[in-house]
Amino acid sequence: MESQKKIKIALTGSYEESKDLIQTLRYIDQLELCAVFNPQSSLSILKVGTDDIPVFHDLETFIQTNDFAVLALEREVPDIKACLSRAGKDQVMVIPREHLRIFQPFFKKLMEVAALNKQSEAIMEAAQEGIQVVDAQGKILYANSSFTRITKVPLKERINKNIFDVSPDGSLAEVLRTGRAVFGNTHVTEGTPIIANASPLINDGKLTGAVTVFSDASSVEKMARIIQRSKEEVASLKEAIHEMNQTKYSFQDLVGQSPAFIKCIQQAKLAADLNSTVLITGESGTGKELFAHGIHGFGNRCSGPFIKVNCPAIPANLLESELFGYEKGSFTGANKLKIGKFELANGGTIFLDEIGDMDFTLQAKLLRVLQEREFERIGGNHPIKINVRIIAATNRNLLEQIEKGLFREDLFYRLNVIHIHIPPLKERREDIPLLIDHMLKKFSRQNNTRSTEKNPLPSISKPALQELCNYEWPGNVREMENLMEKILIFNNTGAITKEDITYFLTAETRYCHNKTTCLTIKEMEKRLIYSALDKHGTTLAGKKAAAQELGISLTCLYDKLKKYK
C-alpha cells in the first residue's frame, strides 16, 4: 500500500522565535518542514532533531529551489506574492504562522499521548510476566513478548484474533462473560505450569475489555522453596543463639543457710515468674550474676534467651549500638544491619551488669525502653516492640550516685521494682563452712579427682576453718573461690591446715604490699588514676567524680590519661 503523501511547509523568520512550532511540526505525520527563509541568519543548515533543514538568505532562491504547498510567514515579507508568481507558484497557500500556532496545543497533546502510549508499551514489554489485552468483543489487542516466552504461543497467532476462538475456556473469556475478575487459574502448557490472573477493564461504568497476567508457576514454587529454606535457616540461627545464651547457673549453685541469704533466694524465686524489673545490689563477688541466672532459669521465661551485657566493659560510644543495634548506612562503617542485645533478648531476659557505670545520656534511652517497652535502632525511623524482662545489678550505692548527679533518679525508681540486696560474706559467716565444702567438691570434680580410700577429698582442720571464718573477705565469695583453688593446687598432703590458710592469706597481703611499696611515683600516679576510674567508671560523669576524688581538675585528668596512654 502506497504511503500517504505529506504536505510540505516552508517557514520564514528566525528559529529562536519559532523553535517550539518547528519541534511540533516534526511529530505530525502528514506535514513535512522542507525549508526556512531567514536573511538575518548566519546558518545554512538548521539541525532539528535528526533532520537537516536548509536555511536560505535570498528570497528568489528560496522560492525557486523548494517545492512547498504552504508558506507560513512570521511577519509580512515584501514582494513575496510577486516572487511566487514569477516562479509559477501561485497555488502556494500563504498564511501567517499564527494560523499554525492555533493548532499547536492540539499537536502537543497528540505528542504527549503518543509518548505515553510508547512508554506504557515499553513498560509492559519489560515485564517478566506475560500480559494479554482484549476489547469488549474479545478481540486480542495486545500481548507482550513475555506472553510468548511463558505460554509458547507466537504473537501472530493471537494479535487481532478473538479470545473466544483461540481460548474459549480461558481466564479472559470468563471475565468477558461474567464481568468479574479471575484469580489463580492454573493450567499446563508444554509441561510448564502457568498461573493466570485476569481482571475486567471498566470505563464510565461499562466493560470495555479485559487484561490477564501470566506467571510461570515453577518460578513461584522455586521462590517458595527459597523462602521456606530461609525460614528454616532463621529458625536454626535463633535456636543456635538461644543455646549460646542460656543460663549457666541455677538456684542450686547458691550455697548458704543464713537468714539474710535465704531471704534473698526467696525474693528471687518470687520474682522469677513475674515480668517486673529486678534490681540486684551487693558488693563485688557476692554472686549477683548467679542470682540473675537463677531468676531466669527458675521462671516462665526459661525457654527464652538470657542476654548478659557488662555495661562498663563496653565503651560508652559503642554501648548504645550494642543495646539497640543500628540500621545499614546509619553511620560510616554501618555496612549491614545490626541486631541489638534488647532485640536478641526478646521473649527472655536481659541482664544489665554494673548498670551504675552506664553513661548518663544512655540512661535516658534505657528509661524509655522500661516505660514504653519499645526502642528504635540507631538510624531507624520506626519503633520496635519487645517483650523482655530486665534484671540490673550494681555494686554501687545508686542513691549516692543520684546525689552526685551520676545516675538518673527516675531510672532508679523504674529499676527498683523488686530489690534484692545480697549481703557480703562477712555478714553471713555461718555460711562459710558450707561454701568451703561446696568448693572443695567442685574443684575436685574440675580436676577429675575422685574420693577414694587412697586418695580422699582434701579435708580442712577446724583451726583452718576458723581462720577462714574470721577473715573479712573484701572480695567475698569470688575471693574465697580463688583462694581455695590456689590452696588445692599447691597442697599435696590432702589436709588443709591453719598454716596453709595463713601462708596464702599473708602471701596475698605481702604481694599486694610489695607491689605498692616498690612502685615509682609515676607508676603510683597511674595506679591511683586507674583505681579512681575503676571506682567511678569511664563515663564523663565518672571521670568528673574520679578527678574530684584525686584532687585534680578534669582537664588535668585528661592530660594524664593522654600522657599514660
User: DSSP of 17-84, one letter per residue?
Assistant: TTHHHHHHHTT-TTEEEEEEE-TT---SEEEETTEEEEEES-HHHHHHH---SEEEESS--TTHHHHH
Asked whether the predicted pLDDT for residue 109 surpasses 50, the reply is: yes
Q: How far apart are CA 360 and CA 250, in angstroms?
A: 32
pLDDT tens profile 321-364: 999 998 888 888 888 888 889 988 988 999 999 999 998 889 99
Closest to 515 (Cα-Cα) out of 526, 501, 502: 526
Burial 203-229 (b: 16+ CB within 10 A, else e): eeeeeebbbbbbbbbeeeeeeeeeeee
- In this predicted structure, what is the pLDDT of residue 32? 82
The stretch 184-196 carries a mean pLDDT of 75
Residue 531 pLDDT > 60: yes
pTM exceeding the 0.85 threshold for the entire prediction: no
- Residue 420, pLDDT > 90, answer yes
User: Does residue 525 surpass a pLDDT of 80?
Assistant: no
DSSP β-bridge partners for residue 326:
338, 378
Residues 476-501, mean pLDDT to the nearest whole number: 83
Model confidence at 40: pLDDT above 70: yes
Secondary structure class of 400 (helix, strand, coil): helix
Lowest-pLDDT range of 48-52, 170-174, 437-441: 48-52
Axis crossing angle, helix 554-563 with helix 540-550, rounded to the nearest 10: 100
Please report the pLDDT score of residue 1 as a whole number: 40
Give pLDDT, residue 511.
44
Q: In this predicted structure, what is the pLDDT of residue 416? A: 94
pLDDT at site 414: 94
Average pLDDT value for residue range 268-286: 93
Per-residue burial over 548-561, b = 16 or more CB atoms within 10 Å of its CB, e = otherwise: eebeeeeeebeebe
Instruction: Give the pLDDT confidence score for residue 442 in this predicted structure.
Output: 83
More confident residue, 238 or 88: 88
Better-scored residue on pLDDT, 303 or 458: 303
What per-residue confidence (pLDDT) applies to 2?
43
* Confidence bin at 239 (pLDDT 50/70/90): low
Most confident of 82-96, 143-157, 394-408: 394-408
Name the DSSP letter for residue 548: H
Quick one: pLDDT at residue 53? Answer: 87
pLDDT, position 460 = 87
For residue 8, the surrounding DSSP H or E stretch is strand 7-12
Choose between 187 and 265: higher pLDDT. 265
C-alpha grid cell, residue 395: 555494686
- pLDDT in the model for residue 177: 92
Q: Could you tell me which of 475, 482, 429, 439 has the C-alpha nearest to residue 460? A: 439
**What's the rounded mean pLDDT across residues 390-409?**
93
pLDDT band at 451 (very low <50, low <70, confident <90, very high): very low
pLDDT value of residue 389: 94
Max Cα separation, the chain?
142
- pLDDT for position 513: 43
Q: CA 339, CA 242: separation in Å to the nearest integer? A: 14
C-alpha cell at 275: 515480668
The predicted structure's pLDDT at residue 85? 87
**Where does the pLDDT of residue 259 fall: very low under 50, low under 70, confident under 90, or very high at 90 and above?**
very high
Q: Which three cell numbers mark 509?
A: 597481703
Q: What angle do CA 411, 414, 418 make, to 5 degrees?
A: 130
The residue among 262 and 441 whose pLDDT is bigger is 262
- Position 487 confidence tier, pLDDT thresholds 50, 70, 90: confident
Average pLDDT over residues 34-56: 85
Confidence band for 261, pLDDT divided at 50, 70 and 90: very high
Dihedral pair phi/psi, residue 142, rounded to 5°: -155, 145
Least confident of 296-300, 318-322, 467-471, 512-516: 512-516
Q: What is the pLDDT of residue 455?
A: 54
What does the pLDDT read at residue 504?
79
Q: Which of 380, 279, 376, 280 is nearest to 327 (CA)?
A: 380
* Least confident interval from 67-76, 312-321, 373-382, 478-487: 67-76
Contacts of 133 by beta carbon, 8 Å cutoff, 6+ apart: 140, 141, 142, 143, 201, 209, 210, 211
* Sequence-distant contacts of 178-182: CB under 8 A, at least 24 apart: 179/207
The identity of residue 197, as a single letter, is: N
Average pLDDT over the chain reads 82
For residues 546 and 106, which has the higher predicted lDDT (pLDDT)? 546
Confidence grade of residue 295 (pLDDT, cut at 50, 70, 90): very high
Least confident segment among 132-136, 464-468, 505-509 = 505-509
